[in-house]
C-alpha cells in the first residue's frame, strides 16, 4: 500500500490530550471499581451444615442421600424428566450427568455454619467446634476430599454476638494456619450486615490476622450476606449495598441474599417467605445493579420446603425447588443455597438443563459472531461476552464438556475466556 492519505481535521492534538488528562482520574476509578469478572469458577450452590454436625463424611453422605432419593423417587431418566418437566431430548443427558455429579462432586461449596444454623452455645463448646472445623477442612485438603470451595459462616458484627464471631473466626483461621496454611477455595461469610462500617470492621479484622501470621495483605476475602432491609436502603435513603462493596476494599467475593431474614424484616408472613416474593425480587435487583462489573458475584437464597416424606411430597418439593432454581438462573443468579441432600438432584437437574438446552444456539451465535458470518441475530460484543460466559459456566459445573463446546464453536477454553473478559 502507498503512503496513508491524510484526512482533514479541525481539532489540535492538544484538545485530545487535554480531555484525556481531565478524565485520567475517572479512568483510574473505573478500572478500580469495575474490574469485571474475576475469571474463576463460581459454584452453582452453597450447602450449609451446622458446626456441630459437620464431619469428615458429610460431603459423601450428602451425595449418597441424594442418590438414594433419586433411586426411590425418580429411578430413571424418564421419571425425573416427567416430574420436573425436562424436555424429552434432554432427559437422558441431564439424568446421567446429575447421577455422575452426585457420585463425583455432590457439593461445590460448603459452609460450616456457626450462625443461625448453630445458634448460641457455651463458649468452650463453640471453641472446640471451630477448632474441629479447621482440622477437618485442613485434613480434607490434604487427602483430596475437599470440595472446591469451603469455609465458615461466623456470627455477625452486631454487639450481642460480635466478640463470639471474632473469636470463632480467629480459632478457625489459626487452626488452618497451624495445619499448613490457608487453602485455596477458602470462603468466609459475614452475615446480617446492616452498615458499611461493619464491612470495614471485617476488613480491619482480616488485616490484623494477616499481619499476625505474616500473610500477604488482601489474602483473605469474604462474602457479605444481604438479609436486612438496611443493607438495601439506608436511613439516608441511599443504596447501602454499593457502599458495602466499596467498604470491603476489594475483599468482597460475593453477595448472598438471605431469603427468610430479609423477608421477615419486611414483615412478610412465614407462609409467603420465598425466593420469588416481590420483596425478594426488589432486593435482588438492587444487589444485581450494585454488583454489576465489580467482580463481586451473586447468590440467591434457599427454599425451606424439604423433599422428605412420601413420594408425592418429595415430587412436590422437587418441582418447587426446580422451578425456583430455573427462575434464578433466568434472572442471572447462577448460585443459590441448598439446605438438604434431597435438594441436590433438582439443583443439578435445573442447572444442567439450563445450560444444555441453550448450548447449540449459544454456540452457533458465538461462532457466527467470531466469524462475522451474520445469521438472523446481529450480536454485539457485550452479547458475545454473555454467550461466552454462559458456555464457561456450563463447562465449570459439568453441564457440558470441552469436546462438545469445541465441536460446536471451533473455540478452545482460552478463546472463551478471552471473549468473556476472564483473566
307 with 348, same domain? yes
Last residue of a domain, one of 357, 378, 399: 357
DSSP state of 331: T
Distance between CA atoms of 154 and 221, rounded to whole angstroms? 14
Cell numbers of 371, please? 466469524
Determine the structural domain holding residue 252 and report its residue range: 45-357
pLDDT in tens, 79-125: 999 999 999 999 999 999 999 999 999 999 999 999 999 999 999 99
Average pLDDT, the chain: 94
- Classify residue 3 by its DSSP letter: P
Q: Which residues pair with 223 in a beta bridge?
A: 189, 254
Say if 25 falls within a structural domain. no
Query: Domain for residue 111, yes or no?
Result: yes
Q: Tell me if 11 is assigned to some domain.
A: no
Q: pLDDT of 290-329, one tens digit each?
A: 999 999 999 999 999 999 999 999 999 999 999 999 999 9
One domain for residues 394 and 348: no
DSSP state letter for 267: T
Q: What is the pLDDT of residues 346-386, one digit of tens each?
A: 999 999 999 999 999 999 999 988 887 555 555 678 888 89
Task: Map grid coordinates 458456555 to a residue.
Answer: 391
Does residue 13 form part of some domain? no
Q: Are residues 149 and 197 in the same domain?
A: yes
Q: How far apart are CA 234 and CA 195, in angstroms?
A: 8
Percent of the chain with pLDDT over 90: 90
Are 341 and 399 contained in the same domain?
no
**pLDDT over 60 at 208, yes or no:** yes
DSSP 3-state of 39: coil
Sequence-distant contacts of 118-126: CB under 8 A, at least 24 apart? 118/50, 118/51, 118/52, 120/161, 121/52, 123/164, 123/167, 125/52, 126/51, 126/164, 126/167, 126/168
In this structure, are residues 204 and 162 in contact, taking their beta carbons and an 8 Å threshold?
A: no
The model's pTM: 0.93
How does pLDDT run across 148-191, given as a tens digit for each residue?
999 999 999 999 999 999 999 999 999 999 999 999 999 999 99
Domain annotation covers residue 303: yes
Distance CA 284, CA 299 (A): 9
Q: Does residue 51 sit in the same domain as residue 185?
A: yes
Residue 162: give its domain's CATH number: 3.20.20.60
- Flag whether 2 is in a domain: no
Kindly state whether residues 391 and 403 are assigned to the same domain.
Answer: yes
Strand partners, 189: 153, 223
Is the domain of 122 the same as that of 96? yes
Nearest one of 356, 414, 412, 365 to 387, comparing CA atoms: 365
Give residue 225's pLDDT band: very low, low, confident or very high (50, 70, 90).
very high
Confidence of residue 1 (pLDDT cuts 50, 70, 90): very low
Regarding whether 181 and 53 lie in a shared domain, the answer is: yes
Q: Among 330, 357, 384, where does a domain finish?
A: 357
First-to-last C-alpha distance (Å) of the chain: 37
Would you mind telling me the total number of residues written for the chain in this entry?
423
Same domain (yes/no): 402, 346: no
Residue 99 is predicted with a pLDDT of 98
pLDDT at 3: 56
* pLDDT recorded at residue 380: 78
Per the domain annotation, does 321 fall within a domain?
A: yes
| The pLDDT of residue 376 | 56
Q: At what angle do helices 402-409 and 359-371 cross, to 10 degrees?
A: 50
**368 and 312 inside one domain:** no
Strands (E) located in 33-146:
45-50, 109-113
Tell me whether residue 299 is in a domain.
yes
Of 338, 357, 376, which marks where a domain is finished?
Answer: 357
- For residues 377 and 315, membership in a common domain is answered with no
Q: Quote the Cα angle for 134-135-136, to 5°.
A: 90
User: Structural domain tally of the chain?
Assistant: 2
Check whether residue 177 and residue 102 sit in a common domain: yes
Which phi and psi angles does 338 have, rounded to 5°? Answer: -120, 130
231 alpha-carbon distance from chain centroid? 18
Amino acid at each position: 500500500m502507498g503512503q496513508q492519505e491524510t484526512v482533514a481535521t479541525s481539532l489540535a492534538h492538544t484538545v485530545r490530550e487535554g480531555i484525556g488528562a481531565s478524565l485520567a482520574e475517572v479512568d483510574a476509578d473505573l478500572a478500580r471499581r469495575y474490574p469485571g469478572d474475576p475469571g474463576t469458577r463460581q459454584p452453582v450452590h452453597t450447602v450449609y451444615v451446622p458446626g456441630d454436625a459437620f464431619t469428615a463424611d458429610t460431603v459423601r453422605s450428602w451425595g449418597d442421600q441424594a442418590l438414594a432419593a433419586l433411586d426411590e423417587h425418580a429411578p430413571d431418566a424418564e421419571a425425573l424428566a416427567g416430574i420436573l418437566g425436562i424436555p424429552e431430548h434432554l432427559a437422558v443427558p441431564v439424568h446421567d450427568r446429575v447421577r455422575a455429579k452426585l457420585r463425583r462432586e455432590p457439593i461445590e461449596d460448603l459452609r460450616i455454619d456457626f450462625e443461625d444454623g448453630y445458634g448460641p452455645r457455651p463458649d468452650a463448646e463453640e471453641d472446640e467446634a471451630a477448632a474441629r472445623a479447621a482440622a477437618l477442612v485442613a485434613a480434607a485438603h490434604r487427602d483430596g476430599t475437599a470440595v472446591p470451595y469451603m469455609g465458615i459462616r461466623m456470627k455477625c458484627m452486631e454487639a450481642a454476638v460480635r466478640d463470639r464471631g471474632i473469636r470463632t473466626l480467629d480459632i478457625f483461621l489459626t487452626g488452618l494456619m497451624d495445619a499448613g496454611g490457608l487453602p485455596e477455595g477458602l470462603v468466609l461469610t459475614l452475615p446480617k450486615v446492616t452498615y458499611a462500617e461493619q464491612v470495614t470492621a471485617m476488613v480491619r479484622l482480616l488485616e490484623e490476622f494477616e499481619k499476625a501470621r505474616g500473610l500477604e495483605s488482601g489474602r483473605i476475602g469474604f462474602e457479605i450476606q444481604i438479609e436486612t432491609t438496611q443493607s438495601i436502603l439506608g436511613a439516608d435513603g441511599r443504596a447501602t449495598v454499593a457502599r458495602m462493596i466499596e467498604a470491603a476494599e476489594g475483599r468482597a467475593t460475593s453477595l448472598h441474599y438471605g431469603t427468610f431474614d430479609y423477608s421477615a424484616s419486611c414483615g412478610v408472613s412465614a407462609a409467603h417467605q420465598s425466593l420469588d416474593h416481590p420483596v425478594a425480587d426488589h432486593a435482588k435487583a438492587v444487589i444485581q445493579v450494585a454488583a454489576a462489573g465489580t467482580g463481586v458475584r451473586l447468590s440467591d437464597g434457599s427454599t425451606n420446603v424439604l423433599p422428605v416424606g412420601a413420594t408425592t411430597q418429595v415430587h412436590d418439593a422437587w418441582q418447587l425447588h426446580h422451578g425456583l432454581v430455573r427462575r434464578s438462573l433466568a434472572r442471572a443468579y447462577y448460585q443459590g443455597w441448598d439446605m438438604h441432600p434431597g435438594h441436590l438432584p433438582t439443583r443439578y437437574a435445573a442447572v444442567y438443563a439450563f445450560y444444555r438446552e441453550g448450548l447449540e444456539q449459544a454456540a452457533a451465535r458465538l461462532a457466527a459472531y467470531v466469524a462475522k458470518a451474520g445469521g438472523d441475530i446481529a450480536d454485539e460484543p457485550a452479547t458475545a461476552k454473555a454467550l461466552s460466559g454462559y458456555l464457561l459456566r456450563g463447562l465449570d459445573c459439568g453441564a457440558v464438556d470441552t469436546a462438545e463446546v469445541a465441536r460446536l464453536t471451533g473455540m478452545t477454553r482460552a478463546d472463551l475466556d478471552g471473549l468473556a473478559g476472564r483473566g
